[in-house]
Structure 1
Amino acid sequence: MDEWYLEPVFFAIVAVALVVLLLIIWLSVLGSRLKKLRKQYVAVMGNTGITNIEDVVVEMKGQIEAQRNRIETLQHQLQTVQSALPHMKSKLGIIRYNAFSDGGSDLSFSLAIMNDEKDGAVFSGLHSRDNTYVYAKPIEKGQSSYPLTPEERKAIEIAK
């Protein structure tokens, strides 16, 4: 029995040991893959409290549809604002001046309020020692059907 390593039992033990070693390696590889898959699963599921991924997909689909509806609503509102914006009287031009040489300082004014299409009005306040008079003239395409003073024209130019 000098050659114990030539016995069939020895070969069987060595073969079983190799199989066990291969199974241990395979289990460690599977364990690392399972750990990576578990991390990905937790990243997707988060703290939703839902254990079924189908429920998560259905919930996400509902949220996406709600977001689409909200985006459509916002786009409609944006179009409404963009269509109304050119008609808003947002251009202002003001000039102060001394209308009469007999008193005071630059207490008279001309104020032009117009939109992008140069429609609006020009207001003039003429201040004298005794009274202040305010006049309004409509503006269409930068012009008025009433005669404009040089100060009113300058206020319109500033507003443009």
Structure 2
Amino acid sequence: MSNFFNNLGIDIGYIIIVLTVLVIALLVTVIILLVKTHKLNDRYEKFMKGKNGEELEQVIYERFAELDIMQQIATQHATDIRDLKRKFRSSFSKVGIVKYDAFKEMGGTLSFALALLTDRNSGFLINCMHSREGCYTYIKEIINGESYIALSEEEKEALKSAINMKNPLAD
């Protein structure tokens, strides 16, 4: 064989070096594959710990049943949220308040105008005027953002504030 390489003009030492490098590369590859196989085997043992094929199949069926239940619950929650949003439309979700002095001789801004509206801008406007003789409260109905009774400047401001309030549950 040595004559064969000599006839080709190749030194046998180069061939030994190339083969040695190739053997080392293959040895490193084998070691890496052994480590990966060991890790995979550990994960498999952990996964299969205390289970045979039938038990594992039962566990998988149970997980799928749990997923079905969770999906039903999620669907019910979506329905409940939709119903709550629908009911919320008729509740007072917008508020506007303006505090003011009803009479010049009174201080402390004890009077106020309070607008309570649904998301459709219907509701009530309450005006509470405080004086030395007492406290007087008036209520006015608001339909679609308008009152059929004349409004004071403070009431208009409270109504405008409530109408411009962003509804947190609006779609």
Q: How many aligned positions are there? A: 128
Task: Flag the 1:41–1:83 CA change in 2: closer, same or farther, 3 A.
Answer: farther
Q: Does 1:73 align with 2:76?
A: yes
1:122–1:152 Cα contact (<8 Å) kept: yes
When the two structures are superposed, what TM-score results if normalisation uses the length of structure 2? 0.65
Q: Equivalent residue for 1:19?
A: none
Q: Equivalent residue for 2:44?
A: 40
When the two structures are superposed, what TM-score results if normalisation uses the length of structure 1? 0.69
Mapped partners of 2:108, 2:37: distance in 1: 86
- Runs of at least 4 residues off by over 3 Å: 32-35
Q: Equivalent residue for 2:140?
A: 137
Matches within 5 A, 1:9-24: none
Of 123, 130, 144, which residue of structure 2 is paired with 1:127? 130
User: Structure 2 stretches of 5 or more lacking a match?
Assistant: 1-32, 164-171
Deviates more, 1:77-86 or 1:148-157: 77-86
User: Structure 1 stretches of 5 or more lacking a match?
Assistant: 1-28
Task: Flag the 1:34–1:55 CA change in 2: closer, same or farther, 3 A.
Answer: farther
Question: Equivalent pairs: percent with the same residue?
Answer: 28
Mapped partners of 1:149, 1:96: distance in 2: 13
1:110–1:122 Cα contact (<8 Å) kept: yes
One-letter code of the match for 2:68? E
Residue 77 of structure 1 and its aligned partner are, at CA, apart by 1.0
Q: Equivalent residue for 1:64?
A: 67
One-letter code of the match for 2:107? G
Mapped partners of 1:67, 1:37: distance in 2: 33
Matches within 5 A, 1:93-132: 93-132=96-135
Task: Flag the 1:103–1:64 CA change in 2: closer, same or farther, 3 A.
Answer: closer
Provide the aligned C-alpha RMSD in A.
2.5
